Amino acid sequence: MTSSLTAVLSGTGKTGQRVVARLTALGAPVRSGSRAGTPRFDWADESTWPAALEDVSAAYLAYHPDMAAPGAAEAVGTLSKIAADRGVEQLVLLSGRGEEDGWATEQAVRDSGLAWTILRSSWFSQNFSESFMLDSVLAGELVLPTGAVTEPFVDADDLADAAVAALTRPEHEGRTYELTGPRLLTFGDAVEEIAHASHRQISYVPVSTREFAAGLAEQAVPPDLVEFLTHLFTKVLDGRNSHLTGDLEQILGRPPRDFHDYATATAATGVWAAGA
């Protein structure tokens, strides 16, 4: 490892916090960019970007709210230019597998003139335990418009390991990887794995896209978020990603973590326990 400073933007997100922890464990200088950090970093406030990139040699970018969201390509392009102006040498971008709307954001990084790596990730296993699906799992019923489509769920810890490899090893420069877990599962399969591991009754209820959107609206979810989630669960989960790649194993030099192992380990933490 060198003494070069790596910025992780955003450093408190699902993957960002894991990347920060791994770089810290390696003894690498790291700056965790967040609204509560020093210097402060906020994807919604361009004035915070220059300071967050000062004296930085490499940066991990996890755009919020999503790299396929409107304005993402422009924001990442602007940040990439600021990074280049401040002497940053390398960018590693977290992208979404199968998200065509995010390709312009990827291209903004490729066009930056800096060394780059793109990590296109499948759905995180941790979405069931650290994200918007946790409440439904705790309630015992997950209602989604995904039907029988299969997804190669990837573990966020594996993704973080891949990001650190990309940030610290030159052989990953100029590469676009599609990261998958080792097995295809339907969302119903995943719920069954969680129910078995947590010793609870949890059901998966398939619904139409219209029913899904109506249910979100009834829960007072903001209209723009309803639109985004509906898009995510229909366009991306249409079967386009129902195949495995060996990219993650190539980067890590080991097989990726299986969803069963994730479910077993996560259940042991008590996060899915009744009344949690």
Q: Please check whether residues 149 and 131 belong to one and the same domain.
A: yes
Q: Please check whether residues 114 and 192 belong to one and the same domain.
A: no
Residue 268 in any domain: the answer is yes
CATH number where 16 lies: 3.40.50.720
Q: Please check whether residues 133 and 262 belong to one and the same domain.
A: yes
Residue 248 in any domain: the answer is no
pLDDT digits (tens, 9 = 90+) for 87-131: 999 999 999 999 998 999 999 999 999 999 999 999 999 999 998
User: What DSSP line would sit under the chain, residue for residue?
Assistant: --S-EEEEETTTSTTHHHHHHHHHHTT--EEEESTTSSS---TT-GGGHHHHTTTEEEEEE--SS-TTSTTHHHHHHHHHHHHHHTT--EEEEEEETT-GGGHHHHHHHHTTSSEEEEEEE--BGGGGTSSTTHHHHHHTEEEES-TT-EE--B-HHHHHHHHHHHHH-GGGTTEEEEE--SS-EEHHHHHHHHHHHHTS--EEEE--HHHHHHHHHHTT--HHHHHHHHHIIIIISSSTT-S--SHHHHHHSSPPPPHHHHHHHHHHTTTTSTT-
Range of the domain at 194: 122-155+179-242+257-276
Residue 106 in any domain: the answer is yes
Number of domains making up the chain: 2
Q: Please check whether residues 52 and 128 belong to one and the same domain.
A: no
**What is the predicted pLDDT for the residue at 198?**
98
Q: What is the mean pLDDT of residues 65-87?
A: 95
Over 50: is that where the pLDDT of 2 sits?
no
Residue 235 in any domain: the answer is yes
Residue 204 in any domain: the answer is yes
Q: Please check whether residues 34 and 95 belong to one and the same domain.
A: yes
Q: Please check whether residues 213 and 270 belong to one and the same domain.
A: yes
What is the reported pTM?
A: 0.95
Residue 249 in any domain: the answer is no
Residue 94 in any domain: the answer is yes
